[in-house]
Amino acid sequence: MLKAAGVGVGDEVVVPAFGNPEVAQAVSLTGAVPVFADIDPLSYCLDAAAVEAAVTTRTVAVVAVHRFGRSADIATLHQVGQRHGLLVLEQGESEAPYREVGVRRERAAYLNTKLKGVRTPIGCDGHTFQQYVVRVPGNGRPDRDAFARAIKAKGVECSVPVKTPVHRIPEFRRDICLPETERAADETLALPIGGDMSRRELHRLVSACNALGGLLQPAF
């Protein structure tokens, strides 16, 4: 899509750093330069104000990536694009079948009411829960990672959705501060809610998390 739009050498394209490097790599393959903007802490997608702050005279496009089953604020990003004459592209996620989405939403609603050892998602209207992502706040990765090890030891599978933001990996290293991106990379943990999970497995997940417990605020 970038090549078809004529994006190339000398251009800049605003992309998120929270995620895998594929979008930044696609920009580089056109000869353009990926410019990283911060995310909204609720949706984990590009923050429109951060995108606008990153725009320069060389910016020609924005690539918004939908994350974890939440949608980026495309309407506001298009407004930014119109103000600056930018192309706004979207990268979606593979869609789960409607029935599976319904099951995931039911499980997510149950966890939102039961979990106390983590910060659960809020503002879930329209969320399809491709991943159920919570936060384990602390003083950096050891806290989240120790939490993950502890619940894995109790038989609960979990994963870190973004281990290193793209602007911190050698290929795309930038000397910039993206506080929400970095905080999310340090704190987020994906808990299982898909497949054929039984009610007993959900109870085990809740017990394992709450046993480590104490985090009282609802989450980003």
Taking only the tens of pLDDT, the chain with its 220 residues reads: 999 999 999 999 999 999 999 999 999 999 999 999 999 999 999 999 999 999 999 999 999 999 999 999 999 999 999 999 999 999 988 777 888 999 999 999 999 999 987 999 988 888 999 999 999 976 544 588 889 999 999 999 999 999 999 999 999 999 999 999 999 999 999 999 988 899 999 999 999 999 886 543 434 4
* Predicted local confidence at residue 94, as pLDDT: 77
Closest CA to 82 of 50, 48, 118: 48
Tokens coding 46: 């590009």
The Cα–Cα gap between 133 and 121 comes to 7
Q: Cα dihedral sign for 120, 130, 21, 36?
A: negative
* Predicted local confidence at residue 102, as pLDDT: 93
* Predicted local confidence at residue 213, as pLDDT: 62
